[in-house]
Structure 1
């Protein structure tokens, strides 16, 4: 699932669409816990307060070319294995700007963030968005940066789809994952795919009616994702997460659908089904939280990443 934040002179709206599912007109964020041992228990309800960003080594920008387009990767130096942060739909690497310095200081690990095609400093790519192209871009970046084993992958929202495919194709490259209100295959049922496709038609039409100068990067990505959404989501529903890669699953209490109880329940059910599918997966709920857990209360996300690093280290 992705939270696409559409910005123009006339409006600031959020729309849920993307790799695992979407719904028009829903905006979200989330809450977190500073106690990793407590928050890693199954289905635990947690809440916490924000911490001030910690000092950390300065990140560097590296442009990496894949399939003819350039991608911006931001590297904060540290020890391997690397921690890779992947933002949701409509967002770029700046989504993690407050979390990166804290993680770097607490874990001592190398931290990698990046801009997917068409976002941030990365080149746009014309045509429909395809998850395999996004997987190829991330593969190319991690290979060029030497992050080829024991990587900890942190994926929010739409990035869960990328995480599912890349770990499935290269399970030996990843030591674990933290999925933050992320898209999981179990959500993309026939019912939810149809509801999402219908719900986003008006938002897609509204973007298409905008003057070119008013169309944002997030708008363009939404149109690209929506182009082949139905077929892509039917395929995603058949994907599986590799049993060898442990995962911490953080679900927001509001879900990405705070105004749609049926879709919110379907989201919670899918997250629980994913977590229950293997003994090395842990489910927790961020109390009083919206979809944007990393922004609202980063402490929980930081604590779970740090705990994962210790678990797999």
Structure 2
């Protein structure tokens, strides 16, 4: 089988391909880019406070007006960037191999459109956050996100925006802390329905050449994450296949037309079908197709992603 390819502009994404997984068969009921419906509004949300120590530090990849908070959790430090606002707190979580700078272009527009508090952060081993040795563990990633939000004073009304591998963090986080969540926008995210035993094994085998290549240069964050993800990929995703998203938390599922499996028609179909299957599992989930987009939807179709985040945030405020 051919190795996974990315249509997005960054060549290192071929190395983080194993982190970008997906869905099982289901009947596609995709709406277009418009016409999505959303549930009734929820009570007003709280914004993040400055309870953690912080200092404004300019630097490459940081959004204008953001404040850096270094959060300690379980023996390592994590970088959270906060643009203060009001209403729901919108948390942007990047995909495999990407840090908070992935969202830099979107933060200013999103804050201007919603007035909300916007948080981006670097998962362990990426950006300005400390490296944590060993296999990538989604539950540890969930604990890091929870610790950051808690120390920033965010206790409710979170709108979580998750791209690619971050969909796995979002699923476990929402399952464990549904009371914190107002809703989620899952952007071509890795979702449980994809991970049948057969498809999980296919993806692991297809990516083994990329893993072997990464082991020759494990110093880069992207290669390091790829290696860490590969270490327990099969058992982790067999378990993920059985994880349920709480029915109480609404979700908008944006699926790309080309998917991360561009050029692999059967796997691409499974990815799209998985998104549809997930969206059909509860009446407060909406499926939106990013027409013409590669897996890199936030870069290819930023206006669409902004539109869906704004819809979710306004519906919950």
Q: The TM-score by the shorter chain falls in which range?
A: 0.7 to 0.9
How far apart, in 2, do the equivalents of 1:261 and 1:173 lie?
38
* Aligned ranges 1:103-252 → 2 under 5 Å: 103-210=110-217, 215-252=219-256
SS of aligned partner of 1:244? coil
User: Which one of 54, 65, 77 corresponds to residue 72 of structure 2?
Assistant: 65
Deviation at 1:15, TM superposition (A): 4.2
Matched, 1:279 2:286: no
TM-score w.r.t. structure 2 length? 0.84
Q: How many residues align?
A: 280
Cα distance change of structure 1 residues 14 and 125 upon mapping to structure 2, 3 Å threshold: closer
How large is the RMSD of aligned CA atoms in angstroms?
2.2
* Aligned ranges 1:6-25 → 2 under 5 Å: 7=12, 13-18=14-19, 20=21
Deviation at 1:39, TM superposition (A): 5.0
* Aligned ranges 1:296-307 → 2 under 5 Å: 296-307=300-311
Any conservation in 2 of the 1:85–1:112 contact (CA below 8 Å)? yes
Structure 2 runs not aligned, ≥5 long: 24-31, 39-62
Q: Deviations over 1:35-70 (max 9, x none)?
A: xxx25269xxxxxxxxxxxxx960010000000000
Structure 1 runs not aligned, ≥5 long: 23-31, 43-55
Any conservation in 1 of the 2:191–2:275 contact (CA below 8 Å)? yes
Deviation at 1:16, TM superposition (A): 1.7
Any conservation in 2 of the 1:41–1:283 contact (CA below 8 Å)? no
SS of aligned partner of 1:72? strand
Matched, 1:40 2:44: no
Cα distance change of structure 1 residues 217 and 6 upon mapping to structure 2, 3 Å threshold: farther
How far apart, in 2, do the equivalents of 1:80 and 1:142 lie?
15
Cα distance change of structure 1 residues 256 and 306 upon mapping to structure 2, 3 Å threshold: same
Structure with more strand by fraction: 1
TM-score w.r.t. structure 1 length? 0.85
Any conservation in 2 of the 1:176–1:312 contact (CA below 8 Å)? yes
How far apart, in 2, do the equivalents of 1:147 and 1:39 lie?
31
